[in-house]
Amino acid sequence: MSIWVIFKLLGSLALLMFGMKNMSEALQKMAGPQLRHVLGAMTTNRFTGMLTGMLVTASVQSSTATTVMTVSFVNAGLLTLAQAISVIMGANIGTTLTAWIMSAGMSFDITNAVYPAFFIGIILIFLKRYRYIGDFLFGLSFLLLGLGTLRVTGAEMHLGENQALLDFFASFDNDSFLTTLIFLILGGVMTFCVQSSAAVMAITMILCSSGALPIYQGIALVMGENIGTTITSNLAALSANTQARRAALAHMFFNVFGVVWVLFVFRPFVDMVCGWVGYDVNMTVENAGHAAFLANAAKLNFVLAAFHTAFNVINTFILIWFIKYIEKFVCWVIKPKKVDDEEDFRLHFITSGIMKTPELSVLEAQKEIQSFSDRMQRMFGMVRELLTLSSTATGKKKKGDQDVEFNKLYTRIEKYESISDNMELEIANYLDQVSDAHLSDDTKAKIRAMLREISELESIGDSCFNMARTISRKYQGKEDHFIDRQYDHLRQMMDLTDQSLTQMNQLLGGRKESFDVNRTFNVENEINNYRSQLKQQNIIDVNNHEYTYAVGTIYMDLVNECEKLGDYVVNVVEARMGTRLK
């Protein structure tokens, strides 16, 4: 075998994998957020969840993309783990469309149709308005060109006439269960090594259609591919959160269970699929002649695709009734980590382990920003509690236990400020990596908005810490304490500020189409007007010797910081809504 033939084979596989990736990403860009909304809305029960997973995966040609979206919804509380399992089952059926595309590409000469598609695609890309359709045509063309080149390369290699290869496969007993297991494991290992079940499926089709690899061994390789692709996702999920690992384990359980029951009825099941396609399993070169044998072997591509579909459809039909038990099993195997999410800094939704497309990475970042926002409101709640503690233990009335409680709460706020700095950097770095990819204009705009959001959220954390430091300085110092009216005013100002934070979190946690921007604007106006009122009253109270100028300065520092915090909230809302409120 020539070294150039080997390079041609490897290059064809590279074209195939590149085409699949480009086609999938282009389809996701065309679908945009509608894809995620469909996935979230059409999973009311196990059957609609299964159909949704099947349709979405068939549309984007990526079961990984569907799985990642599903896990994101589980983390966000939009889907239960049981619903996610039904979607993953559907994704397994949807991904079998790839095998049918490949079998067609391997059986017919489609390379002539590729070049007009390239030409049309480049025109659409330059038109910009239709560039995603152009990207899709380019991806599809690369896929078909890779398949066509693989078909020609397979014929040039004359694998069916390679005696050494034939002798190698003949050394395995076709009737032996051990042979089936060996090729099953080989398929899993190959898929894990090349990180692409499509590439291994293409190699299997070349070997089978050339007559070199018997159908039973080829089917065993396909079964191994189903397990190999789940091993990859499980290893990737090791660094992810609990729900992601559970979803990956459910995917593996689904495929392993299917392989186990197929092994019990292996021969009859394969013969049944061969009968559907019209392939004669008993035909040999000796009893039918070389031409008839090769014509019969050419049907093997469709046998492999039909088996892949039948395997996943029947397996889904069996397991869809036991989703609750699968959920209990994966929850029993993978226990949640016992950490204090309040105090432990880690990103919940952004994980480096699971491979995601750039469009889907934006969803992960949005969920992380929502978590960031929730954490900032909790931090503000601690500041309000700190003010309450300072009001009950002032001057000579301070007690040892109250000092300990005050210092403990202040230290916690200080830790939250450090967490907010880290979260801003981590999310910004993640978005920076995502922005390096080829993105749609809509996604680029979202990334710019999210970078502004995290900057403003970090400023909210700074404001909270500034207030905590001011309260602590007042608590630890020798100045006179606030009068009751000042405490009442501060509590009222903080109530208004907390209302604005609640509005912000409602926006970040929901859909902006249903958000009433005027409510945020009205709260901000109330905060500004109340700040101006308190500023004037403070001058009057100091002149009337209600309290000292130093106390009035500390008091107004807290009022002004609340007003600044309200401005940061408005900035976050503006960034998410894509509009100016003032």
307-330 per-position pLDDT tens digit: 989 999 999 999 989 988 998 999
Residues 240 and 343: beta-carbon distance below 8 Å = no
**Does residue 203 carry a pLDDT above 60?**
yes
- Report residue 396's pLDDT band, with 50, 70 and 90 as the boundaries: very low
CA distance to 382, 383, 488, 491, 505, per residue, from 558 (Å): 14, 11, 13, 11, 23
- Report residue 38's pLDDT band, with 50, 70 and 90 as the boundaries: low
Q: What is the DSSP letter of 337?
A: P
**Does residue 161 carry a pLDDT above 80?**
no
18 or 558, which is more confident? 558
Residue 477 CB neighbours (<10 A): 12
Mean pLDDT over 431-452 rounds to: 80
Mean pLDDT over 258-276 rounds to: 89
Q: What share of the chain is helix, strand, coil (3-state, %, to 5)?
A: 80, 0, 20
Q: Which fold has domain 358-577?
A: Methane Monooxygenase Hydroxylase; Chain G, domain 1 (1.20.58)
Q: What is the DSSP letter of 341?
A: T
What's the CA gap between 152 and 112, in Å, rounded?
13
318 or 154, which is more confident? 318
pTM passes above 0.85: no
Residue 77 CB neighbours (<10 A): 9
Residues 111 and 270: beta-carbon distance below 8 Å = no
Enumerate helices (H) and strands (E) in the chain, giving the number of each.
24, 0
Mean pLDDT over 12-20 rounds to: 80
Q: Which residues contact 226 (CB under 8 A, 6 or more apart)?
A: 197, 255, 258, 259, 311
274 or 157, which is more confident? 274
Helix axes 300-319, 242-264, angle to 10 degrees: 120
Of these ranges, 22-31, 72-81, 185-194, 197-206, the one predicted with the greatest mean pLDDT is 185-194
Mean pLDDT over 53-63 rounds to: 73
Residue 163: predicted pLDDT = 67
Residues 247 and 84: beta-carbon distance below 8 Å = yes
Domain with CATH 1.20.58.220 in the chain: 358-577
pLDDT in tens, 214-249: 888 888 888 888 888 777 667 766 666 677 788 888
Residue 580: predicted pLDDT = 62
Residue 526: predicted pLDDT = 93
Least confident of 431-445, 475-489, 528-542, 546-560: 431-445
208 or 422, which is more confident? 422
